[in-house]
Structure 1
Amino acid sequence: MFMGEYHHSIDAKGRIIIPSKFRQPLGELFVITRGLDQCLFIYPMAEWQHLVDKLKQLPLTKKDARAFTRFFLSGASECELDKQGRINITTPLCKYASLEKECVIIGVSNRIEVWGKDAWDNYFDISQESFSELAENMLDVDI
């Protein structure tokens, strides 16, 4: 399980350090793709395969299913850590998530999310204001 919040910088070549606590559960080969809310999702290969299997079950006749699958898979790329524990994030993914200098890497159960610091701060501030309401709504799913 991935959890926690870490702050790192992305260099001019699009490389960012993955927190050491995340490296072993991530494995040698993993996938990074566009996530929701203008961040990036990183999945260990087993989690990625599970997600792709679910996407394959979506009906091709549904426009939203086709659009979501295209969006999600077209930005995906396999990654591996270099000797310094960094990954290289492609230019389109950096642009999508507005990754410039300061980034926030968070663990979210079965995935890692990479956020531009400003986007994360904005998202966190808005979500923090409604956290009680979010928690109340989650009671419907036994949390």
Structure 2
Amino acid sequence: MFLGTHTPRLDDKGRMFLPAKYRERLASGLVVTRGQERCLYVFPMTEFERIATSMQSTPTSNRAVRDYQRVFLSGASDEIPDKQGRITVPATLREYAGLTHECTVIGAGSRLEVWDTSAWTSYLAQTEQSFADQAEEVVPGLL
């Protein structure tokens, strides 16, 4: 499970160090793709394969399904971290997420999310109060 918040930087070549605590789990391969709210999703290869396989069972007769699959899969980039634990984030994905130099990587359970730090700060400021105010209807019986 991926947890926590980390603040790596992108270098001039679009490379980013993966947080050290996740490197072993991602060493054999990962997939970076577009996520919601203009962040990037980073999945271990096995998790991405599970998701892609599940997508194949969705009805492609539904335009929303086709649109989602196209955007999600066309942006996907499979990567193997280098010996120093860096991955290259493709230019199209950096542009999509507005990544420049300062990044925030958050653990989101089965995936990591990569955010431009200012975008993450804004998102968190907008959603923290509603998180604090949520009642049981969001995740019934959890806590």
TM-score normalised by the chain length of structure 1:
0.94
Distance 2:134 2:69 in 1: 27
Distance 2:32 2:113 in 1: 9
Q: Which runs of 4+ in 1 moved over 4 A?
A: none
Equivalent position SS for 1:136: coil
**Residue equivalent to 1:80:** 80
Q: CA RMSD in A?
A: 1.2
- Give, in angstroms, the shift of residue 138 of structure 1: 2.1
Does structure 1 residue 70 correspond to structure 2 residue 70? Answer: yes
Distance 2:114 2:24 in 1: 18
Distance 2:32 2:135 in 1: 29
Return the structure number with greater strand share. 1
Equivalent position SS for 1:47: helix
**Residue equivalent to 2:17:** 17
Distance 1:139 1:90 in 2: 35
- Give, in angstroms, the shift of residue 7 of structure 1: 0.5
TM-score normalised by the chain length of structure 2:
0.94
**Residue equivalent to 1:136:** 136
Equivalent position SS for 2:84: coil
Return 2-11 or 126-135, whichever deviates more: 126-135
Unaligned runs of 5+ in 2: none
**Percent identity (aligned):** 38
